[in-house]
Amino acid sequence: MTLKRVTVAAGVGLLLAACVGIPQASAAVTPGDGLALTPPMGFNNWNSTHCRAEFNEAMIKGIADIFVSKGLKDAGYQYVNLDDCWALPQRGPDGNLVPDPVRFPNGIKHVADYVHSKGLKFGIYTSAGTMTCNENGFPGSLGYEQQDADLFASYGVDYLKYDNCNNQGVDAKQRYIAMRDALAKTGRKILYSICEWGENKPWEWAADVGHMWRTTYDISDSYGSMLGIAKQNWALAEHAGPGRWNDPDMLEVGNGGMSGIEYRSHFNLWAIMAAPLLIGSDLRKATPETFEILNNREVIAVDQDPLGVQGKPIKSANGLHVFVKPLRNGDKAVLLFNEGEQQSRISTSAAEIGLPRAAGYKVRDLWERTDRHTAGEISATVPPHGSVMFRVSMDPRWAAYPSFVEASVDTATVYPGALPLVRPGHDTTVTTAVTNNGRLPAVQVDASLAAPAGWSVQAGSPSSRLVLRTGQSLSTKWTVKAPASAKPGSYSLQVNAKYQPGGTASYALQVVVPQPAPRTGFLSDFPWLRTTNGWGPVEIDKSNHEAQGGDGNPITIQGARYEKGFGAHSPGVIEYYVDGKCTSVTTDVGMDDEQDPKGSANFEIWADGRKVTESGVLTNLMPAKSLSADITGAILVRLIAADGGDGNSNDHADWADTRITCS
């Protein structure tokens, strides 16, 4: 657990350093200790529980049990870690930290022993400050480094997460070196996780201090947060390697704030970046889909590859990224990632990813678990926020695998927004394509389009082809109609292809039957089509308080209070289907008073593919600005809170008193 920022007492750093005897830089102790030769894998409770009562002994024991029963231990997860709030707010008479007797009635060593009895390892948390990050003020380890390290060793601790709050302005290197040396003096091997949020560029100095270091502020359970953190981390690939890892924070997979597609991208990105894989969801409540993602051993093998190279993008344009991670056996892991709002085709080649020239290559899809051969093209149509991961190899038996046939689907009537729309009772034209990327021909190719029960699908052009040679495609036009009674929601249109010898390919396009267009009134009174948000969920008629839905405050901008509107966090999008029936949107925009003056955002209103108005960059020191947008004829309206240019920390962006006028 960390805070997004920390207020420190000015002018006391040198004095405190002198008082507690924090040493200057000394000889490295971590290289060669055999720890973290691959990125650490395990669990930390913070993302799912924070400091709530459900964080207790029973939970931690339950997680250890699930690691064994669900195969996570066998997949490589080994650390079961406590975060903040495990101790009482005051040290004991002997100066030791005291476990909370309500949360941990049998003490911490009892829990550690239980975890160890399962063949797992145990981790704990404290801060390199006078207090930890929680507002209740639990004691930190600044000035108590050796006493606390000795206590942790007596518990049987195998992993220490060392946070950065209430650090009193003491130099970061001195604080983290002090604990490094204290851990070394215990004689126990303890993996050392430096959590100073990237404030002092630890990737430049911490390789001989800790085994991993946070490169960013805290992650939250939203696509915008995950994406922003991934981008910061993937720029630091050169600093990672065995025993020294960039840490973009814990996994949010399974906590409910992202879609299944987004969680899979989250897991893929962390794996290609050789990031620590620390589960942040309560596995006692996890869905089968969550376990499927967390237990994908082929993706885990990419993360855990002993060569220890952090993958990085070899090309990025318009939100489409191709990542490559060299593997010890000469294979290349390839991630095709679409950060954008519309499905897109992403492609690379064997030459681009660094493989020698050959007649053919083996391509392993790590989620579909299929083997194909390619003449060199490596491509896929990737949904919004989605990703595809391959393992590409120089296999002399490449011809024994079916051709790498790619299936895709598009709509000719997609409106300019994130989600293809299907209006009930109306025909929608859908075009599918089946393309052969293999060296050898695909024969007897048959394509079909599957739609939900009750929908009609009719082919308007040929859906089969006797032979598809390298680079050739079969394109089929279909007419799809959802019944007039179709309920609003998300649906799947899936193209399936069969071909010889022995191959299949498929792609699912997510389409939306929208809610009816809003009427004249406050826009927050009507259901949106979709939202994305930089931190936490978009709040209705409240500010964005960054955590769980409904926890915001009244919307307030420079003292002016508003009863209606949206509390967002840049970068974020609020999208409405208006069906050409609305003419204008008016709103006051600004940065909410609940945050400090660091926040900033640019507010934009888009009508289909056109930006119709914007505020310019606004800060917490500026009053609300009124915007009025002409949206006549638009099918989709998007309210966009764009980053103000200083990153997305503290950007509580309010859409206040937002009204729409419709016919």
Active-site positions? 163, 218
Residue (of 280, 7, 229, 226) closest to 133 by Cα position: 7
Tokens of 637: 């309206």
How far, in whole angstroms, is CA 360 from its chain's centroid? Answer: 34
Residue 253 and residue 279: Cα distance in Å, rounded? 7
Q: In 228-376, where do the E strands start and end?
A: 245-247, 277-279, 312-317, 320-326, 332-338, 344-349, 361-365, 370-374
ω into 501 cis (within 30 of 0):
yes
Q: Is 185 exposed, middle or buried (0-12, 13-18, 19+ CB in 10 A)?
A: middle
As a whole number of Å, the end-to-end CA separation of the chain is: 49
Query: Cα 98–99–103 angle (5° rounding)?
Result: 150
Residue 324 and residue 152: Cα distance in Å, rounded? 39
Residue 427, number of CB atoms within 10 A of its CB: 14
Assign residue 258 a region: left if phi > 0, alpha if psi is -120 to 50, beta otherwise? beta
Q: What is the DSSP string of 342-406?
A: S-EEEEEETTTTTPPP-S-EEEEETTTTEEEEESSEEEEEE-TT-EEEEEEE--TTGGGSPB-EE
Report the relative pairing of strands 121-127 and 159-163 from DSSP bridges.
Answer: parallel
Residue 221 and residue 215: Cα distance in Å, rounded? 18
Helix (H), strand (E) at residue 20: helix 13-20
